[in-house]
Amino acid sequence: MPRLWLMKELDFSLVVGQRAAKHGIREGVVTHFWNRSSTKDEMCSNFNQPLSMIFAGPSGNGKTELAIWLSKLLNKPDEDAFHKVDCGKITDGREFFGMSGAFYGSKEGSALNNFVTRMALENESIGVVLLDEIEKAEKSVIHGLYQVLDKGEWTNKCLEKGRSHTEVVSCRNIIFVMTTNAADNIISNYVTKNQHIYSADMDDLEDTVDELNLKVQKSLQLSPPFIDAFIGRIGKVVPFLPMANNESNKEPLCMEMTTVAKLFIEREEETIMGGKKDISLKINISPKEKDRMAKVIVKMTPSESGVRRLQKLLSKKSAVS
């Protein structure tokens, strides 16, 4: 079992905020691979099924970041085990799964096809495929994923090295992460009524998130592609909360946006220093000043805009300065 001994120590501590999401991801990964390791019957469907998760929540609040970190934590530092697909840019299922037969491009294969087949050969690695904005995917993509999620089988259509026919490879060591904004309103409304979710202890947090999870799943099933046939194939739905901002700073845990802003300020500081030819020139912003700057930036950022908007605003301010 690839790096199973590390899974219970999945450490997302370098990612600010999203306690509930990090706990849900860790639980989903450990449960999936542990159950599979205890299944001796290779004919059992659970033995070959890949783990699939939906990351649901507002844009710019860490869904992509946590998927990237998941890939880093499950693999060796130098492994390229992460692949992202922007579903909104896929206009045909063949772009996703690859061309077949005598069609032009069949020898090259799609980028995703080549990633999955490469990971199938690396038994000690766990690939993470991020399907960004899955609700924008073509029907042919969704229907094609049914077999992949059901049986853990991927049809390699790349006819390289003189092969004249397709082959089926296993994708049991792939984690499919699908992001969506479809349940934004449900999550935002729930958080507004349950502000304690940001500072609750882990036991209370689990109960609250379980309740939110049910609401999110019911909401998703009202819109394509999240019909019962699709949701039934998903291993875990992970709600992502809007980052807590300065409007709810009664507890240290509710200062996520300020903490993130300070990290961005430090990165901008390093970037500026990296571009200076005069190494004697030093920029030294005191911690107190960084905290003040961070709070100003956060107040200028609408709470529903997320971290991505905060980062853009900070970069713009730095450029002007």
CA triple 209-214-220, angle to 5 deg: 120
Distance CA(185)–CA(212), nearest Å, equals 12
Per-residue pLDDT at 263 exceeds 70: no
Q: How far is CA 291 from the centre of its chain?
A: 29
Handedness of CA 184, 190, 191, 197 (dihedral sign): negative
For 172-231, the pLDDT digits (tens) are 899 999 999 999 999 989 988 988 888 788 788 888 888 999 999 999 988 888 888 888
Phi first, then psi: what are they for 121, rounded to 5°? -90, -10
Length of the chain (residues):
321
Helix (H, G, I), strand (E, B) or coil at 203: helix
The answer to whether 157 and 109 have CB atoms below 8 angstroms apart is yes
Q: 160 pLDDT band (50/70/90 cuts)?
A: low
* Residues 6 or more apart in contact with residue 42 via CB below 8 angstroms: 48
Distance CA(286)–CA(290), nearest Å, equals 6
The answer to whether 15 and 243 have CB atoms below 8 angstroms apart is no
CA atoms within 13 A on the CB side of 201: 1
Percent of the residues in the chain that have a pLDDT greater than 70, as a whole number: 65
For 48-105, the pLDDT digits (tens) are 889 999 999 988 888 999 999 999 988 888 889 999 999 999 988 888 988 765 555 5
Closest CA to 173 of 109, 118, 127: 127
Ordered by where they begin, the domains of the chain are 4-239 (3.40.50.300), 246-320 (no CATH)
Phi first, then psi: what are they for 128, rounded to 5°? -120, 120
Lowest mean pLDDT among 71-75, 84-88, 161-165, 278-282: 278-282
Q: What is the model's pTM?
A: 0.76
**Average pLDDT in the chain:** 77
Residue 99 is given by DSSP the state -
Percent of the residues in the chain that have a pLDDT greater than 90, as a whole number: 28
Distance CA(32)–CA(9), nearest Å, equals 15
Closest CA to 220 of 23, 98, 53: 53
The answer to whether 245 and 295 have CB atoms below 8 angstroms apart is no
Lowest mean pLDDT among 82-86, 155-159, 199-203, 308-312: 308-312
Q: For residue 175, what pLDDT is reported?
A: 96
